[in-house]
Structure 1
Amino acid sequence: MSAEHANAGYRRLFDREGLTFGAGFPLTGANRSMPDHEAEIELATLAEELGFDGLWARDVPTFWPKFGDAGQTFDTWPWLSHVAAHTDGIALGTSSVVLPLRHPLHVAKSAATVDRLSDGRLVMGIASGDRDPEYPAFDVDREERGELFRESVEALRTVWTADYPELEGRWGSLEGELDVVPKPTAGTIPLLPTGNARQTDEWIAAHGDGWLFYHLPESTLENYIAQWREATTDKPFAIAVRVELADDPTAEPEPLHLGYRAGVEWYRDYFRRLESYGLDHAIVGLQNEDRERAFERFADEIIHKL
């Protein structure tokens, strides 16, 4: 597909034919405790050198052991600013900011700041959230998260594009006396709703700049992409998938949580099929113990051979 957004990160991910690849933090795999930030940056710069097009940071405000992970632990905005300072042109993404748990004016200012500091490389996955104990922790009614999500999207779009706007929501009100600065480099920041985000497909197609989804069974993913193409022909579809590369390049797939363990030959065929369905971007979560070698193998044997 062809990306029409002026944002540099969006163009990096989507402004050419064929499938692109990103990597999801924590790149070292340390998702229950604080990762080694120096090792994370080393892998981030390696990913950029190897030809990955995106680096994606998760938004997990609190650690809930029952859920199984704490994301990359570091808060999304300072972390992406740090990554921006150590990379050059790779897109920086959120996967995904939980809008009902954050005040939209804080999100607008933080996101625009990262966008400015990275020369327009920020692309935002946005979500309604999926960790039940976090809603009472932030005094948010879980049943209202769908409406809060829509209000936040409206607020973000408004304060990014208008000076001294007038706007009202459950989060508060603006009466034309205050502005939110800085403004994004391209006037706004691309927003990719994640999963269903408690919204209809029609709302996502009308208000999103693309659709970001979790790993799905292949036939289900094919159907989702086909339905998306009927709803909007020019907006991208992206997924996140966990990948463990087997030592044997011919190894057949074994299911992992939200992904597979398989040889590089199977993975090449798999991503070719997803590309033929119309998938635009895949966020890869590499699971191998030797991450540096895994990034090199994935780039050499999959990215560069597609």
Structure 2
Amino acid sequence: MTRDHDAPATRPSFRSDGLSVGVGFPLTGVNDSRPSISRELALAEHAEEVGFDALWARDVPLYWPKFGDAGQTFDTWPWLATVAARTDEIALGTASVVLPIRHPIHVAKSAATVDRLSDGRLVLGVATGDRDPEYDAFDVDPESRGELFRESVRWLRTLWSEPFPELDGPWGRLDGRLDLRPKPAGEIPLFPTGHARQELSWIGAHGDGWLFYHLPEETLDSFLSDWRDVGGDKPYLMALQAELAADPTADPEPIHQGYRAGIEWFREYFGRLEAAGVDHVIVGISGREPEAGLTAFADGVLAYR
């Protein structure tokens, strides 16, 4: 890549004039074993080339077969650093870092490092997690998830913004003698995912946006209305599974967290999402060979934004 690393990229905000669209790893669709590194990176480059706005990596420390998938299997931080070296301007996101089982100093340093290596392209989805055995593995009381989440957000904000901070909490104490290095290239947006065991008013006050899951359109309208009441014009992000039918005119069929449909229906659907006020969609594309699926979605949906 030829990017000038002395000229930082514009911080992704997902608050442009229109709907932006990202795609989630693993791009090869391999979700229960290690995907091909070279293939994933080539597809990441292709996603940027055809016009996707973001690449999203999930945080799955341990594989739980009962849950059904292992994410992209590689640890979030070295993986995004590797992707940063192979791309130029596309945003790099986490969907989402499970804060209650992570020490906030480790999260703050890893995120700041990736942000510096990517010239300010990192956006951080954060969550409380949904894989029950992980809490036992990390010796975390699942009933404390909500409180730990709030505390972690406070620590992250402070560690990134204040020199030699003073902090006291469940993970330890900083008394002003130590500092986090590096600091991020700029303010890293934090997007709480789902309800994160918080009141929506807390998410609106402390998050830089809200990341939620696929919802039926009538339910989505009410969620967006509630979000605008507490979050104002902060962005609303959503995840969606999109299985592309061979027939471009095929009507939609519900699948887990999304639809199977023809590309013409997806074009109309994304138009409705934009009109409703959705700011960013993280799409998982299946139904075709991965590169062909990315290209078809870009040509059939992104080109019409």
Q: TM-score per shorter chain, which class?
A: over 0.9
Cα deviation per residue 1:39-83 (whole Å; 9 max; x = unaligned)? 001110000000000000000000000000000000000000000
Aligned to 2:192: 193
Aligned to 2:3: none
Aligned to 2:214: 215
Q: Is the 8 A contact 2:96 2:126 kept in 1?
A: yes
Aligned to 1:166: 166
Q: SS in structure 1 opposite 2:12?
A: helix
- 1:52 partnered with 2:43: no
Is there any run of 5+ residues in structure 1 with no aligned partner, and where?
1-5
Question: In the alignment, residue 47 of structure 1 is paired with which amino acid?
Answer: A
Structure 1 segment 111-190 matched on structure 2, within 5 A: 111-186=111-186, 188-190=187-189
Deviation at 1:287, TM superposition (A): 1.4
Matched length: 298
- 1:236 partnered with 2:235: yes
Distance of 1:38 and 1:173 partners within structure 2: 42
- 1:280 partnered with 2:279: yes
Deviation at 1:217, TM superposition (A): 1.4
Deviation at 1:107, TM superposition (A): 0.2
Q: Is the 8 A contact 2:9 2:119 kept in 1?
A: no
Aligned to 1:17: 17
Worse-matched range after superposition: 250-259 or 137-146:
250-259
Aligned to 1:254: 253
Structure 1 segment 97-116 matched on structure 2, within 5 A: 97-116=97-116
TM-score for the superposition, normalised by structure 2: 0.96
Distance of 2:265 and 2:234 partners within structure 1: 28
> Residues 7, 107 of structure 1: CA spacing in aligned structure 2 closer, same or farther, 3 A cutoff?
farther
Q: Is the 8 A contact 1:54 1:93 kept in 2?
A: yes
Structure 1 segment 58-77 matched on structure 2, within 5 A: 58-77=58-77
Distance of 2:71 and 2:220 partners within structure 1: 24
Distance of 1:305 and 1:234 partners within structure 2: 24
- 1:225 partnered with 2:224: yes
Q: Is the 8 A contact 1:7 1:189 kept in 2?
A: no
Aligned to 1:3: none
Q: SS in structure 2 opposite 1:10?
A: coil
Give aligned-pair identity as a percent: 63
Aligned to 1:271: 270
Q: SS in structure 2 opposite 1:55?
A: strand
Distance of 2:204 and 2:271 partners within structure 1: 25
Deviation at 1:9, TM superposition (A): 3.9
Aligned to 1:296: 295
Distance of 2:231 and 2:32 partners within structure 1: 38
Distance of 1:122 and 1:33 partners within structure 2: 26
Distance of 2:65 and 2:11 partners within structure 1: 33
Deviation at 1:224, TM superposition (A): 0.6
